[in-house]
């Protein structure tokens, strides 16, 4: 018998922690979506260095931070809530798992609402210029990922409330959490690109 | 079958038995009839569908080419209008590169990977089914547009501004863009499936230095696709936005950039062309040893070179853009990189020659196809080498020299290996041997026809004939070359026809193959031909690269590989998950049953794109909603899959 | 594989070099493959399932090291040679005295001779004249979609891309006619977007240039006057002729049309029958061309042609 067998110890059965195939699938989903945002931001940086006269790039001058910064914090808090939820299910604390997911989902929805108001307040429209096309498209792609994430968080909330998971089997939670943390990390990159780099000198 | 254990010690069986086989068959087989047709998640059925669909597109693309060569056989012909020609050459490129070359390799890999790895299925069987159904839907979507006269007409590379609404008012480009985004979803989920399968589903003992080179090839291509496909999907999406919503990404009149398209497209496009040859090179690396009766020379170097070629392949995309006026610094870097990439890509060539030289050829048709790849690879490779040098490329780019190059690499390093792979693995897929005599006719007709058709293109390119032209002036020295090319391409087409006849004839009446007709070393030959739905009655354990040659090679670890004894895993559809490097068992995986969710999702996703194509926003929204519902249903935690907690023993 | 000017000359040895290397590689590898296959008697295909002896060899690795080693040296050599040639052809040895602005349109070439003195600027179409023995700078503009400017005998191609102005230079040793063609797919008539570059001695070029700056001679008889009137009515919205009221800029400038060797961007010879054929039905010659079929009676067309024949 080859030295891998017989197996003396018991093996876990099912979708358990990072040995679940769904976890590995989500890792590569994250990679491919990260690549998508990398190409979106590449498009921004590539167009930023093209001539845009007589318009400015960013259009309308330096971007307004007063909604974007608090919104970033809201999203970070939402990731925190998910992380807290994960810690709780590892302690078999279903109640706080459900609370954590619900708070995260609500914060995600607040992010969407605030971003909607930010969009409405912009002095340009989607079809105005390359800058405006980039702004709405890139933040729009991010918003779409947040929408998917919020729906996912509500489903995890419901499944958790229905008692599906315990400290051994909760693969859905940590797979979903990975996606949500990724969406958060992407926002940092998008926020930096659109809101910070103009203040650092990337503007015409 | 209810599971009550969070963990258990898996049973090991030391003998195969009919009862176990029957039980596994009932667990794993697909339902018969229409129900099973739409709900199967069996990688073997999905693999065959991929291959058949890809060959159907190969034929379509070939007919398009035949029409083009009819028009180009002589200067000034009027067999086709410019509009027809433009749609034909664009659709031909799209078909061959996207609808044939990638999917056919996905098909072979899909069928073979679990067998090569000693597993019962791919890691994500439903995702596997999804990748096929979306491929089929995207292919139909794209061809429906072509059938109605709205096929792509700006080349497969679709440069702006010619692809923009201002210069291409009809819906052609919109169908192309949306169809390609849909197809990209298929390729991406398929690639994720391969990577996860590699990391988690190998048989116990199959450490990463024991996997067949086809595994390395497909793995590398899949990992690359995960990073590369978003570039082209994004490019097409931004173009669709420019054309339909009025954005300005590529609009040079308002500060957008035509070059942005080229960068995004080729950042995908170059890795893609390696993705459509590296798995095929893996087939050659695995097939040649069987037909020269010795292991591949330099396994480790070949595996590493495969990965290195792909990694470097991300750093050469600008060589498609040498004539666009980029600064010299940039040109120099990419020229150097494009020349240096020949180093890892040549490792395979020398490994193959060395393997044949030190082995003893068995002159089967499969061997002839695999061996011919070496010569065709080198011809395609050196024409790439020539154009890698920027000043030379400035003369050769956009001429028929490039057409020669791309066909030598695509036909030489994809089509010829695939035909060889068919002769090699057809017995495993169908239980029957292909006809060797017809195979010889097939080989020589294809080989001679191909070279007569495409070699002269090097010369017409060197003589200045541009590409993508529906006609050309006489008296340029191109006339006879084009006629010879057209004739040669028709001979090649006859060769392909002989291949298809052989497949059909052998499927119906070929001689019976048995488990291991070629006396080959890898695990797929350790089970029946065709394999049972569950692949292996017990999970093999692996102690070397060549499990079935261990008695003769004496290069194995410990007592050697076992196929007749191993993990039973019969508490439902189950597989063993193993660690990424050494393949030590670390979990018993519960595998999904057949499901309609994938085919439904493919249809709802396609609905979104149909809605976008016809500006029926309500339909797109409906499709999105249905897609969401399907995904939620698909991902609903299932106890049978071990995704939920077990009910407490005391209720 | 041969060059007719400094820029092409620099690239010719490199082109031959990589070609010869390539042919050598193909021959060597083919011989090795043939040798590998036939050096010993092979085995005929056996019945399915037969056991055939397996060699437990582990040698052969040196093939890879030697092959890759030699390839790497050849590649490195080519990289260095490429860099040297690239440096040489990126800029001309002397600063060009003449700048020609080429604008690629669907599907013809606008050729504008630039000068610091605005009165020395003029346009022509599809035929470029340059003086021999000196580099000429070309500025390339894409008016609509991407085109590519290529005169094979004189140098490599450079794209004309909307939104940016690319530059290239060419130089011809000897007078002659050098054919060129658009080499970036640009739509329906990409295949028929040719051009001619005519290299002339500096004296001949100066004479040609001076002539281009003059208006063509006025019509001398009633028929030609009628032809001019018809031309203004039917053609001047797109075409221009120096010294007349025709100032259209959508199509080629026709001021000295009769001096050109070809018409329709190199698709037809410049003779009366082909001119008639082109004007009567442009779509018949170049389906998809942006020149609409003029609504002319045969007489009107004949009178326009009689006027065009005066444009020397």
Other beta carbons within 10 Å of C250: 12
Six token digits for residue B25: 């068959």
DSSP class of residue B362 equals B
Six token digits for residue B229: 């496909």
| Residues A98, A159 contacting (CB under 8 angstroms) | no
Check CB contact under 8 Å for B378 and C30. yes
Chain B contacts in chain C segment 248-287 (CB below 8 A) = 287
Q: Does residue C43 fall inside a structural domain?
A: no
CA angle, B245 then B629 then B233, to 5°: 40
Residue C143 and residue C75 in one domain: no
- Position B647 scores a pLDDT of 81
Mean pLDDT on B563-586: 94
- Position A1 scores a pLDDT of 39
Closest CA to B375 of B351, B403, B408, B342: B408
Full-model pTM: 0.97
Q: Are strands B539-541 and B7-8 parallel, antiparallel or unpaired?
A: unpaired
Alpha carbon B59 to chain centroid, angstroms:
16
Six token digits for residue B321: 């853009």
Q: Which of C134, C166, C201 is the last residue of a domain?
A: C201
Closest CA to A158 of A84, A102, A81, A86: A102
For the beta sheet containing C127-131, the strands, ordered from the edge strand earlier in sequence to the opposite edge, are: C127-131, C194-200, C176-181
Unique residue bearing structure tokens 């008695």: B551
Give CA torsion, residues B167, B169, B173, B175, to 10 deg: 180
- Position B4 scores a pLDDT of 65
Mean pLDDT on B568-577: 95
DSSP class of residue B371 equals H
Unique residue bearing structure tokens 């028709």: B490
In this complex, the residue of B192, B231, B643 whose CB is nearest that of residue A25 is B192
Helix axes B400-410, B436-462, angle to 10 degrees: 160
Distance CA B528, CA B185 (A): 34
Distance CA A159, CA B113 (A): 35
Residues 6+ apart with CB under 8 A from B520: B290, B548
Does residue A162 belong to the interface with chain B, where contact is any CB pair within 8 Å? no
Residue C18 and residue C81 in one domain: yes
Distance CA B355, CA B301 (A): 13
Check CB contact under 8 Å for C191 and B82. yes
- The total of structural domains in chain C comes to 3
Chain C contact probe: residue of B72, B323, B475 with most C CBs at under 10 A: B323
Distance CA B152, CA B175 (A): 8
What is the percentage of chain B residues whose pLDDT exceeds 70? 99
Alpha carbon A122 to chain centroid, angstroms:
23
Residue C77 and residue C106 in one domain: no
User: In what helix (H) or strand (E) does residue B193 lie, and over which residues does it extend?
Assistant: helix B172-200
Confidence tier at B2 by pLDDT (50, 70, 90) = low
- Which 3 state secondary structure label does DSSP give B575? strand
- Which 3 state secondary structure label does DSSP give B28? helix
Residue C138 and residue C193 in one domain: yes
| Residues B257, A59 contacting (CB under 8 angstroms) | no
Residue C191 and residue C153 in one domain: yes
| Residues A12, B587 contacting (CB under 8 angstroms) | yes
Six token digits for residue C16: 């031959």
CA Rg, chain A, in Å? 21
Residues B143-165: tens digit of each pLDDT: 999 999 999 999 999 999 999 99
Distance CA B374, CA B347 (A): 11
Give CA torsion, residues C24, C30, C31, C37, to 10 deg: 170
Mean pLDDT on A161-182: 96
State the SS3 of B32-74. Answer: CHHHHHHHCCCHHHHHHHHHHHHHHHHHHHHHHHHHHHHHHCC
Q: Does residue C287 fall inside a structural domain?
A: yes
Which whole-number Å values give the CA distances from A192 to A139, A196, B507, in the listed order?
A: 12, 5, 60
Q: Does residue C182 fall inside a structural domain?
A: yes
Closest CA to B321 of B303, B312, B334: B334
Q: Does residue C26 fall inside a structural domain?
A: yes
Residue B271 scores a pLDDT above 80: yes
Helix ranges (H only) for chain A are 21-48, 68-90, 94-121, 130-161, 171-191
Q: Does residue C50 fall inside a structural domain?
A: no
Six token digits for residue B483: 């006629």
Check CB contact under 8 Å for A39 and B230. yes
- Position B650 scores a pLDDT of 40
Distance CA C230, CA B6 (A): 93
Confidence tier at A54 by pLDDT (50, 70, 90) = confident
Distance CA C269, CA C262 (A): 4
Which whole-number Å values give the CA distances from C140 to A52, A62, C87, in the listed order?
A: 20, 35, 21
Q: Does residue C210 fall inside a structural domain?
A: no
Structural domain range at position C253: 222-308
Please report residues of B whose CB lies closer than 8 A to that of C161. Answer: 258-259, 324-325
Residue C103 and residue C82 in one domain: no
Chain A neighbours (≥3 Cβ pairs under 8 A) are B
Residue C249 and residue C301 in one domain: yes
Mean pLDDT on B230-254: 97
Q: Where are the beta strands (DSSP E) in C126-229?
A: 127-131, 136-142, 147-149, 158-160, 166-170, 176-181, 194-200
- Position A6 scores a pLDDT of 64
Residue B59 scores a pLDDT above 60: yes
- CATH number of the structural domain spanning residue C103: 2.60.40.420
- Which 3 state secondary structure label does DSSP give B464? coil
- Position B473 scores a pLDDT of 94
Chain B contacts in chain C segment 140-199 (CB below 8 A) = 140, 142, 144-146, 148, 150, 152, 155-159, 161-164, 166-167, 181-192, 194
| Residues A172, A165 contacting (CB under 8 angstroms) | yes
Residues B417-460: tens digit of each pLDDT: 999 999 999 999 999 999 999 999 999 999 999 999 999 999 99
Model ipTM over 0.90: yes
Chain B neighbours (≥3 Cβ pairs under 8 A) are A, C
As a whole number, the mean pLDDT across chain B is 96
User: In what helix (H) or strand (E) does residue B602 lie, and over which residues does it extend?
Assistant: helix B597-613
- How many residues appear in chain A? 204
| Residues A94, A87 contacting (CB under 8 angstroms) | no
- Position A2 scores a pLDDT of 44
Residues A75-128: tens digit of each pLDDT: 999 999 999 999 999 999 999 999 999 999 999 999 999 999 999 999 999 999
Six token digits for residue B209: 């230095």
Residue C226 and residue C184 in one domain: no
Residue B550 scores a pLDDT above 70: yes
Q: Are strands B574-578 and B562-567 parallel, antiparallel or unpaired?
A: unpaired
Chain C contacts in chain B segment 373-432 (CB below 8 A) = 374-375, 378-379, 382-383, 385-386, 388-395, 397-399, 427
Residues B325-360: tens digit of each pLDDT: 999 999 999 999 999 999 999 999 999 999 999 999
Residue C179 and residue C229 in one domain: no
Mean pLDDT on A181-197: 98
Distance from the A46 Cα atom to the nearest Cα atom in chain B, whole angstroms: 7
Q: Does residue C44 fall inside a structural domain?
A: no
Mean pLDDT on C50-72: 92
Unique residue bearing structure tokens 């292991």: B295
Residues 6+ apart with CB under 8 A from B581: B207, B208
- Position B554 scores a pLDDT of 86
Residues B105-120: tens digit of each pLDDT: 999 999 999 999 999 9
- Position A4 scores a pLDDT of 54
Residue C254 and residue C281 in one domain: yes
Mean pLDDT on A24-48: 98
Mean pLDDT on B361-382: 98
Q: If you measure CA to CA, which chain B residue comes closest to C18?
A: B386
Which whole-number Å values give the CA distances from B435 to A148, B288, B421, B422, B614, in the listed order?
A: 53, 19, 14, 12, 48
Please report residues of A whose CB lies closer than 8 A to that of B264. Answer: 39, 42-43
- Which 3 state secondary structure label does DSSP give C281? coil
Check CB contact under 8 Å for A24 and B200. yes
Burial label for C128, CB within 10 Å (0-12, 13-18, 19+), is buried
Chain C contacts in chain B segment 312-341 (CB below 8 A) = 323-325, 328, 331-332, 335-336, 339-340
Six token digits for residue B184: 């990209």
| Residues A178, A27 contacting (CB under 8 angstroms) | yes
Other beta carbons within 10 Å of C51: 9
Q: Which domains does chain A have, with CATH numbers?
A: 19-52+66-196 (1.20.120.80)
Does residue C56 belong to the interface with chain B, where contact is any CB pair within 8 Å? yes
Point out which residues pair with B7 in neighbouring strands.
A12
- Which 3 state secondary structure label does DSSP give B12? strand
Residue C77 and residue C117 in one domain: no
Distance CA B162, CA B166 (A): 8
Does residue A201 belong to the interface with chain B, where contact is any CB pair within 8 Å? no
Six token digits for residue B352: 């193959």
CA neighbours closer than 13 Å in the CB half-sphere of residue C85? 28
Check CB contact under 8 Å for B196 and A166. no
Residue C261 and residue C171 in one domain: no
As a whole number, the mean pLDDT across chain A is 94
Residues B120-142: tens digit of each pLDDT: 999 999 999 999 999 999 999 99
Does residue A169 belong to the interface with chain B, where contact is any CB pair within 8 Å? yes
- Position A5 scores a pLDDT of 62
Q: Compute the count of residue pairs across chains A and B with CB atoms less than 8 Å apart.
A: 212
Check CB contact under 8 Å for B389 and C49. no
Other beta carbons within 10 Å of B412: 25
Residues B20-29: tens digit of each pLDDT: 999 999 999 9
Diameter of chain A by CA atoms? 77
Six token digits for residue B566: 């191993």
Q: Does residue C6 fall inside a structural domain?
A: yes
Residues A64-75: tens digit of each pLDDT: 999 999 999 999
């Amino acid at each position: 018998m080859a030295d891998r067998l017989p197996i003396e110890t018991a093996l876990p059965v099912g979708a358990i922690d990072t040995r679940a195939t769904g976890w590995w699938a989500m890792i590569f989903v994250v990679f491919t979506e990260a690549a998508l945002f990398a190409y979106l931001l590449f498009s921004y940086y590539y167009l930023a260095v093209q001539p845009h006269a007589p318009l400015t790039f960013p259009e309308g001058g330096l971007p307004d931070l007063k909604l974007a910064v608090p919104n970033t914090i809201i999203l970070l808090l939402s990731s925190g809530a998910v992380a807290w939820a994960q810690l709780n299910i590892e302690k078999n604390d279903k109640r706080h798992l459900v609370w954590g997911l619900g708070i995260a989902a609500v914060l995600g929805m607040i992010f969407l609402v605030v971003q909607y108001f930010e969009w409405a307040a912009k002095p340009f429209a989607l079809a105005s210029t390359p800058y405006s096309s980039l702004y709405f498209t890139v933040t729009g792609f991010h918003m779409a990922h947040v929408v998917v994430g919020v729906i996912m968080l509500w489903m995890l909330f419901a499944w958790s409330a229905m008692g599906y998971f315990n400290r051994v089997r909760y693969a859905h939670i940590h797979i979903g959490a990975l996606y949500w943390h990724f969406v958060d990390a992407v926002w940092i990159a998008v926020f930096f690109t659109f809101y910070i780099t103009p203040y650092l000198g990337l503007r015409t | 079958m209810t599971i009550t254990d969070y963990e258990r010690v898996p049973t090991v069986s030391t003998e195969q038995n009919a009862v176990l086989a029957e039980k596994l068959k009932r667990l794993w087989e697909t339902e018969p009839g229409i129900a099973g047709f739409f709900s199967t998640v069996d990688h073997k059925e999905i693999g065959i569908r991929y291959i058949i669909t890809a060959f159907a597109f190969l034929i379509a693309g070939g007919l398009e080419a035949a029409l083009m060569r009819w028009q180009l056989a002589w200067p000034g012909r009027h067999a086709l209008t410019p509009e027809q020609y433009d749609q034909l050459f664009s659709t031909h490129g799209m078909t061959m590169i996207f609808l044939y070359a990638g999917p056919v390799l996905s098909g072979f890999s899909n069928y073979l990977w679990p067998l090569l790895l000693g597993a019962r299925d791919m890691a994500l069987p439903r995702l596997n089914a999804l990748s096929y159904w979306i491929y089929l839907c995207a292919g139909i979507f794209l061809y429906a547009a072509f059938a109605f006269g709205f096929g792509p007409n700006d080349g497969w590379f679709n440069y702006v501004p010619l692809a923009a609404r201002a210069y291409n008012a009809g819906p052609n480009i919109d169908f192309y863009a949306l169809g390609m985004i849909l197809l990209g979803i298929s390729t991406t989920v398929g690639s994720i499936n391969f990577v996860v399968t590699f990391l988690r589903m190998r048989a116990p003992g199959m450490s990463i230095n024991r996997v067949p080179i086809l595994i390395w090839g497909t793995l590398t291509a899949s990992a690359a696709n995960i990073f590369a496909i978003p570039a082209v999907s994004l490019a097409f999406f931004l173009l669709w936005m420019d054309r339909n919503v009025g954005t300005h990404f590529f609009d040079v009149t308002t500060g957008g950039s035509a070059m942005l398209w080229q960068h995004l497209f080729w950042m995908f496009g170059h890795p893609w062309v390696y993705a459509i040859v590296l798995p095929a090179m893996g087939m050659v690396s695995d097939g040649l040893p069987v037909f020269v009766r010795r292991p591949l020379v330099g396994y480790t170097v070949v595996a590493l070179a495969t990965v290195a070629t792909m990694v470097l392949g991300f750093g050469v995309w600008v060589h498609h853009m040498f004539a666009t006026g980029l600064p010299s610094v940039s040109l120099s870097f990419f020229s150097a990189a494009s020349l240096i990439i020949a180093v890892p890509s040549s490792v395979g060539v020398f490994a193959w020659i060395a393997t044949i030289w030190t082995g003893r050829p068995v002159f089967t048709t499969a061997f002839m196809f695999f061996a011919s790849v070496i010569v065709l690879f080198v011809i395609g490779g050196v024409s790439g080498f020539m154009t890698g040098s920027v000043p030379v490329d400035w003369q050769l780019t956009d001429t028929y020299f490039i057409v020669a190059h791309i066909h030598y690499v695509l036909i030489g390093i994809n089509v010829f290996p695939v035909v060889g792979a068919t002769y090699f693995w057809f017995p495993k897929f169908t239980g029957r041997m292909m006809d060797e005599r017809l195979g010889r006719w097939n080989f020589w007709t294809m080989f001679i026809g191909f070279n007569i058709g495409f070699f002269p293109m090097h010369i017409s390119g060197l003589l200045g004939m541009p590409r993508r032209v529906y006609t050309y002036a006489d008296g340029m020295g191109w006339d006879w070359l084009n006629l010879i090319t057209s004739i040669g391409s028709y001979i090649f087409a006859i060769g392909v026809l002989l291949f298809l006849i052989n497949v059909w004839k052998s499927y119906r009446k070929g001689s019976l193959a048995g488990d291991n007709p070629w006396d080959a070393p890898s695990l797929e030959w350790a089970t029946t031909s065709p394999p049972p739905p569950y692949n292996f009655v017990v999970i093999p354990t692996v102690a070397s690269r060549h499990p079935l040659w261990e008695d003769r090679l004496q290069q194995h670890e410990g007592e050697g590989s076992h196929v007749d004894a191993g993990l039973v895993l019969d508490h439902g559809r189950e597989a063993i998950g193993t660690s990424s490097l050494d393949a030590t068992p670390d979990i018993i995986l519960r595998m999904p049953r057949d499901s309609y969710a994938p085919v439904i999702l493919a249809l709802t996703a396609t609905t979104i794109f149909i809605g976008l194509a016809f500006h029926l926003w309500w339909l797109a929204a409906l499709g999105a909603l249905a897609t969401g519902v399907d995904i939620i249903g698909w991902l609903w935690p299932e106890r049978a899959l071990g995704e939920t907690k077990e009910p407490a023993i005391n209720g | 594989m041969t060059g007719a000017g400094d820029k092409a000359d620099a690239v010719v040895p490199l082109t031959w070099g990589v070609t010869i290397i390539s042919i050598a590689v193909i021959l060597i590898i083919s011989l090795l493959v043939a040798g590998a296959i036939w050096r010993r008697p092979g085995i005929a295909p056996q019945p399915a399932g037969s056991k055939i002896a397996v060699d437990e060899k582990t040698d052969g690795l040196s093939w890879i090291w030697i092959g890759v080693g030699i390839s790497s040296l050849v590649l490195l050599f080519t990289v260095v040679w490429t860099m040297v040639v690239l440096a040489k052809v990126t800029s001309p040895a002397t600063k060009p005295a003449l700048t020609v602005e080429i604008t690629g349109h669907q599907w013809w070439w606008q050729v504008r001779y630039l000068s610091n003195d605005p009165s020395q600027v003029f346009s022509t179409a599809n035929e470029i004249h340059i003086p021999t023995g000196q580099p000429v700078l070309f500025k390339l503009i894409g008016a609509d979609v991407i085109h590519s400017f290529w005169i094979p005998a004189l140098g490599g191609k450079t794209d004309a891309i909307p939104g940016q102005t690319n530059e290239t230079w060419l130089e011809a040793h000897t007078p002659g006619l050098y054919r060129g063609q658009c080499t970036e797919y640009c739509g329906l008539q990409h295949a028929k977007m040719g051009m001619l570059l005519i290299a002339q001695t500096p004296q001949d070029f100066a004479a040609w240039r001076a002539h281009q700056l003059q208006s063509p001679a006025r019509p001398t008889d009633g028929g030609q006057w009628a032809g001019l009137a018809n031309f203004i009515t039917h053609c001047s919205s797109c075409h221009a002729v120096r010294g007349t009221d025709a100032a259209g800029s959508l199509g080629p400038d026709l001021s000295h049309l009769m001096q050109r060797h070809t018409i329709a961007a190199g698709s037809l010879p410049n003779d009366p029958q082909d001119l008639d054929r082109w004007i009567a039905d442009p779509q018949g010659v170049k389906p998809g061309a942006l020149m609409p079929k003029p609504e002319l009676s045969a007489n009107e067309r004949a009178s326009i042609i009689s006027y065009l024949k005066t444009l020397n």
